[in-house]
């Protein structure tokens, strides 16, 4: 797949969708999601191919009010889709444990955005979600985060690929949702549904960086 360069994961994504298109029954997919905005296009898109469940496990989000706000917007969006677009998307929410999560990231406090701290953050959440997928017999697992222009799809897919070796019962669904105008479609659906758009990634460190930007 080297010849596809930066489009490698998009082609793997499309290849899998082509393979399952003709199946009599939709395979099940558990997708880690971080907010309504990122889920707006991707969840609608994937629901055509999968029996889709969204997994909201985001202990990284700071403060708790922000965690709740993003979750509530996600619920509002999916209820709208299920009611008016004929989807049957489900949501699972884990119990929030932000204090312990922050302790896990503390040793990398001085890392820049997109550095080692972020990779650890992706890994912790994706591993927890893939564990759930394995325990509950899902066919596939993926993360919505490759839709974000602030996140590197190659890094995320490499993290997912590595974690998938621990859970052989679940297939890792490679993705690069930014391709094929994914960001444009996300922005359009976010506006149509009047979704709250957060101003920082989510964690305590990105929150403080946001406050500094606001002061400047």
Alpha-helix residue ranges (DSSP H) falling in 111-201 = 116-135, 153-164, 182-192
CA–CA gap between residue 35 and residue 148 (Å, rounded): 11
Query: Which residue, among 149, 161, 172, 171, has the nearest Cα to 41 in the 3D structure?
Result: 149
Single pTM value for the model: 0.96
β strands within the chain, DSSP E: 28-32, 51-56, 90-93, 140-143, 171-172
CA–CA gap between residue 20 and residue 214 (Å, rounded): 46
Each residue's pLDDT tens digit, 75-134: 999 999 999 999 999 999 999 999 999 999 999 999 998 899 999 999 999 999 999 999
Query: Which residue, among 50, 53, 54, has the nearest Cα to 23 in the 3D structure?
Result: 50
Whether the bond into 134 is cis, omega within 30 of 0: no
Instruction: Check if CATH label 3.40.190.10 holds for domain 8-215.
Output: no
First and final CA of the chain: distance in angstroms?
A: 44
DSSP structure class, residue 89: -
Each residue's pLDDT tens digit, 151-206: 999 999 999 999 999 999 999 999 999 999 999 999 999 999 999 999 999 999 99
209 token code pair: 């960086």
CA–CA gap between residue 52 and residue 46 (Å, rounded): 7
């Amino acid at each position: 797949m080297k010849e596809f360069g930066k489009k490698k994961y998009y082609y793997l994504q499309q290849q899998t969708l082509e393979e399952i298109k003709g199946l009599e029954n939709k395979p099940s997919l558990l997708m880690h999601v971080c907010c309504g905005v990122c889920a707006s296009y991707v969840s609608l898109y994937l629901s055509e191919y999968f029996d889709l469940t969204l997994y909201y496990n985001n202990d990284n989000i700071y403060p708790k009010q922000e965690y709740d706000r993003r979750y509530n917007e996600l619920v509002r969006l999916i209820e709208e889709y299920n009611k008016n677009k004929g989807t049957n998307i489900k949501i699972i929410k884990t119990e929030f444990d932000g204090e312990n999560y922050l302790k896990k990231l503390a040793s990398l406090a001085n890392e820049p955005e997109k550095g080692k701290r972020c990779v650890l953050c992706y890994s912790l959440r994706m591993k927890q979600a893939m564990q759930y997928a394995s325990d509950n017999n899902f066919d596939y697992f993926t993360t919505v985060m490759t839709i974000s222009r602030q996140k590197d799809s190659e890094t995320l897919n490499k993290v997912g690929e590595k974690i998938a070796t621990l859970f052989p019962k679940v297939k890792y669904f490679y993705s690069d949702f930014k391709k094929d105008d994914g960001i444009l479609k996300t922005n359009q659906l976010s506006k149509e549904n009047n979704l709250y758009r957060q101003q920082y990634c989510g964690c305590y460190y990105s929150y403080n960086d946001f406050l500094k930007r606001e002061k400047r």
